Amino acid sequence: MTNPLLADWNTPFGLPPFDLISDDDFAPAVDAALTESRANIAAIAENPDAPDFANTIEALERADEMLGRVLGAFYNVAGADSNPKREALQREFAPLLSAYGSEVSENKALFARVEAVWEKRDELDLTDEQQRVLMLTRRGFVRSGAQLEGKAAEELRAVKSRLSVLGTDFMQNLLADERDWFMKLDKDDLIGLPDFVVATAKAAGDEKDAGGPVVTLSRSLIVPFLQFSERRDLRQKAYEAWGARGANGGETDNRGIAAETLKLREERANLLGYDTFADFKLETEMAGTPGAVRDLLMKVWEPAKAAAENDAKVLERLLHSDGFDGPLEPWDWRFYSEKRRKELHDLDEAELKPYLQLDRMIEASFACANRLFGLEFKAIEAPVYHPDVRLWDVTRDGEHVAVFMGDYFARGSKRSGAWCSAMRSQQRLSGDIRPHVVNVCNFAKPEAGKPALLSYDDARTLFHEFGHALHQMLSDVTYESISGTSVARDFVELPSQLYEHWLEVPEVLAEFATHAETGEPMPEDLLNRMLGAATYDMGFQTVEYVASALVDLGFHDGPAPADPMQRQAEILEEIGMPHAIRMRHATPHFAHVFAGDGYSSGYYSYMWSEVMDADAFAAFEETGDPFDAETAKRLEETVLSSGGSVDAADLYTAFRGRLPGVEALLKGRGLDKAA
């Protein structure tokens, strides 16, 4: 029997035939697809015809068609519905795929053809999109070292392989430190802890065989402990253990790894012709240069610090009124901030939840997309990879736009978090290919017959992921490599974070946040408290985040520091870090930056996107109508349909008439009043 992954898919909209695919089909399909990819690459590299755009760049776009189709289905089930077999397959595929990737980027004959097309690009009469794809393709080769020869090429290979070992070690050390530490809580030690924290502490104690409740260094336990524990001595002990992860001496200490990593990254950048690693990393980002990143971070830093210092004074008074002398300490912040929050925005989750029904929130996200972009959603049936998955045919003016899949409920087989992925991306090179987009979330599943209810955070997550989905569904490009969300890392969160703003539009909540039993809309007072709570303590949150981003940047935009801990201390001193706040992630446990280089000199990008989403939503607010048709049309024509076919800064400028300013973000975070 033929492997269903490799056969034609005679399913509605060409969706993967999940009812026919078994786990045993994946490995042979990946194997066959890799063989096909390799044959395609060899055919391009060895083509006797003179290199041109079609026989080189377009051929490369098509080379992995089968592989993409197989992996699209596989990674979707591996993330959203895993099992031991699928986990083993993931471990098996990773080295195969990375070996294939290296083969392609190190193929000299192939690169020579890409380079030849690049050299004569001005004579080829290419469209703007084709020029962009050519530039990106060549840049990818150059950045992975295709231009290096002999000793330099070998050095680069050695540096990259050592860096990947260091990244894995860093993460494993961190996990070991997080796993090893716990603190037993006797009866007197539970004072102040709400039931849900006690329950979590008990479950953690059972897991550790500790014979009673414990605090661990898991964020979901230590943060509420620091928020609620009345025992200042225990808060201090737990906080200090949390801050010491990766810096406890011995075998799991990450400080040496951090120093070596920074040194090797500098070497890698130098080998490729860049002054610093930040120059190398930021070349492909919207920000472009370390200077632009620092500029933006500092514009946010000063007002955030001013707000945090005002807040610290209030919290310190609360500390003193509890009979303690001396300054407010980092282990006090969350505790007194929680007390103050209760006074200012008391919010009972139980009171709120019945108003946020999953189905109504899905309807709300669809209704906004309908008002803004004219999209319509019709539920359809087709084979799915899990019975909880729901499918919609997305149309506009009667024409098919995309298939949207929602996989909303938590289950043991799903990894944590929420994400959006495309099992198939939009493109026109191989016919009019429309996307298959899936949103995966981890919302609590209700008892049978009861409606699923969300927290406000959940509802925001739903809108966030749907914003990514729109970026995929509204994509309108020719080439898959630049389709949908294939954009710079510091640009990719713009559509998603922007979409969250429509959840906060009062008329949307008034229509869709209705009580599960009575159908009544959410009372205005509750609505205001909910919105107020969502932006509370922003000075603290901004300071702990921006400090981490500035340290990350400082590590990478000059010579590698011999002692990163000393450099970290210098940077914090220079920016005047408030006494009672520490970095959200200090160097020895800064996994974003050291467990792989995904976010190295890139931790700023969360803030960068937030500046943009606030500024972009202000474009709607300025018209007086959050659904202003002309602004929505411009948003689609510039940002949402273009994928990576145009430089991100140019797309944004086309939408807004200028680059983003920080004012809307400061206003949204309530930081504009403090400075």
Which residues are tagged catalytic? 465
Contacts of 68 (CB under 8 A, 6+ apart): 480
3-state secondary structure 284-322: CCCCCCHHHHHHHHHHHHHHHHHHHHHHHHHHHHHHHHC
Tell me the C-alpha distance between 666 and 671, whole Å. 5
Query: Nearest distance from residue 465's CB to Zn ion, in Å?
Result: 7
Query: Nearest distance from residue 392's CB to Zn ion, in Å?
Result: 20
Q: Which residue is nearest to Zn ion (CB)?
A: 496
Residue 400, SS3?
A: strand
Contacts of 19 (CB under 8 A, 6+ apart): 383
Query: Nearest distance from residue 401's CB to Zn ion, in Å?
Result: 21
If you search the block for the tokens 């053809």, which residue do you land on? 113
Single-letter residue type at 139 = R
Nearer to Zn ion, 361 or 384 (CB): 361
Nearer to Zn ion, 420 or 635 (CB): 420
Burial of 421 (0-12, 13-18, 19+ CB in 10 A): buried
Residue 509, SS3?
A: helix
**Beta-ladder partners of 420:** 439
User: What are the tokens at 496?
Assistant: 């998603």
Query: Nearest distance from residue 468's CB to Zn ion, in Å?
Result: 6
Single-letter residue type at 263 = K
Nearer to Zn ion, 291 or 417 (CB): 417
Taking the CB of residue 620, how many other CB atoms lie within 10 A of it?
Answer: 20
Query: Nearest distance from residue 463's CB to Zn ion, in Å?
Result: 11
Tell me the C-alpha distance between 186 and 87, whole Å. 39
Nearer to Zn ion, 494 or 646 (CB): 494
Smallest CA-to-CA distance from 667 within 627, 615, 608, 607 is with 615
Smallest CA-to-CA distance from 626 within 504, 476, 480 is with 504
DSSP string for 240-287: HHHHTTT-SSGGG--HHHHHHHHHHHHHHHHHTT-SSHHHHHHTTSSS
Nearer to Zn ion, 33 or 438 (CB): 438
Exposure class string for 358-368: b at 16+ Cβ within 10 A, else e? bebbbebbbbb
Burial of 124 (0-12, 13-18, 19+ CB in 10 A): middle
Taking the CB of residue 475, how many other CB atoms lie within 10 A of it?
Answer: 28
Nearer to Zn ion, 488 or 586 (CB): 488
Nearer to Zn ion, 496 or 548 (CB): 496
Nearer to Zn ion, 178 or 465 (CB): 465
Query: Nearest distance from residue 666's CB to Zn ion, in Å?
Result: 22
Nearer to Zn ion, 458 or 493 (CB): 493
Nearer to Zn ion, 185 or 454 (CB): 454
Tell me the C-alpha distance between 556 and 313, whole Å. 34
605: enclosing H helix or E strand: helix 605-621
Query: Nearest distance from residue 492's CB to Zn ion, in Å?
Result: 7
Site residues for Zn ion per CB under 5 A: 493, 496
User: What are the tokens at 26?
Assistant: 């994946």
Query: Nearest distance from residue 440's CB to Zn ion, in Å?
Result: 12
Query: Nearest distance from residue 166's CB to Zn ion, in Å?
Result: 27
Query: Nearest distance from residue 467's CB to Zn ion, in Å?
Result: 8
C-beta pairs of 625-631 under 8 Å, 24+ apart in sequence: 626/501, 626/502, 626/505, 627/368, 627/371, 627/372
Taking the CB of residue 158, how many other CB atoms lie within 10 A of it?
Answer: 12
